[in-house]
Chain A
Amino acid sequence: GAGVSQSPRYKVTKRGQDVALRCDPISGHVSLYWYRQALGQGPEFLTYFNYEAQQDKSGLPNDRFSAERPEGSISTLTIQRTEQRDSAMYRCASRALAGTQFFGPGTRLTVL
């Protein structure tokens, strides 16, 4: 597509539910990144992929968070047993082999 897309744009869920956030990168981009942005803060790195391989997940806050990119294109960030502190904007970015990161519009997650 023309840019990075994310869905849903807004997600409201109850504490304890699982959520899956989707990122569709720019076609042909090798690398895909996930970030989390709390209100009033800058985005913080979570994890990233080159093709389908997860290269670094050091930014994932705990084992309730996981991500996959099985075919090297679309990626899903899953949060299990959501907690109120998980409420944030979740941003995805993609990058060509040697270029800058292009960001999607983000998914606003609210955990009640």
Chain B
Amino acid sequence: AQSVTQLDSHVSVSEGTPVLLRCNYSSSYSPSLFWYVQHPNKGLQLLLKYTSAATLVKGINGFEAEFKKSETSFHLTKPSAHMSDAAEYFCVVSGMYSGGGADGLTFGKGTHLIIQP
């Protein structure tokens, strides 16, 4: 079965230190992968996406992610955390639900990023 696993439900870092949010996927083919962010009481916003081009993907707000096929990972990183980064982050794969043939997204359970002052 195909799946997305976010390895940490909560991550806490100090402001100005690096951020690492981990994601592993399971797929029988090369998927499209995304990271979305959800701030409190706001909608989901796309941070970045991987669609089989460059394996290192740069997104908004200084975030980036690297697709590693050998490790089936798509971890999200940022060199220096800012207080405004505090939010829920979702790793997402496209086209993995049972219906098939479309771009319905399969979300991980999310990682809550906490920024300590």
Which residues 70-110 of A sit at the B interface, judged by CB distance below 8 A? 91, 93, 95, 100-106
> Chain A residues with Cβ under 8 A from B108's Cβ?
42
Assess whether B103 is in contact with A101, with CB atoms less than 8 Å apart: yes
A18 CB–B CB distance under 8 Å? no
Assess whether B104 is in contact with A56, with CB atoms less than 8 Å apart: yes
B98 CB–A CB distance under 8 Å? yes
Assess whether B104 is in contact with A91, with CB atoms less than 8 Å apart: no
Assess whether B49 is in contact with A105, with CB atoms less than 8 Å apart: no
Q: How far apart are A105's CB and chain B's nearest CB, in angstroms?
A: 4
CA separation between A90 and B112, bound complex, in Å? 20
CB-contact partner of B44 in A43, A55, A56, A95, under 8 A: A43
> Interface range on chain B: under 10, 10 to 19, 20 to 34, or 35 or more?
20 to 34
Assess whether A42 is in contact with B110, with CB atoms less than 8 Å apart: yes
The residues of B with any CB-CB pair to A shorter than 8 Å are 34, 36, 42-46, 49, 90, 92, 97-110
Known contacts: A41-B109, A100-B46. The answer to whether A95 contacts B103 by CB under 8 A is yes
Q: How far apart are B90's CB and chain A's nearest CB, in angstroms?
A: 5
Contact with B along A32-46 (1 / 0, CB 8 A): 010100001111110
Assess whether B104 is in contact with A41, with CB atoms less than 8 Å apart: no
Assess whether A59 is in contact with B34, with CB atoms less than 8 Å apart: no
Which residue of the partner chain B has the closest CB to A41? B109
Assess whether B43 is in contact with A59, with CB atoms less than 8 Å apart: no
Assess whether A48 is in contact with B107, with CB atoms less than 8 Å apart: no
Known contacts: A45-B105, A59-B99, A95-B103. The answer to whether A100 contacts B34 by CB under 8 A is yes
Q: How far apart are A43's CB and chain B's nearest CB, in angstroms?
A: 5
CB-contact partner of B49 in A56, A91, A100, A104, under 8 A: A100
Assess whether B97 is in contact with A58, with CB atoms less than 8 Å apart: yes
> Chain B residues with Cβ under 8 A from A33's Cβ?
104-105
Assess whether B102 is in contact with A56, with CB atoms less than 8 Å apart: yes
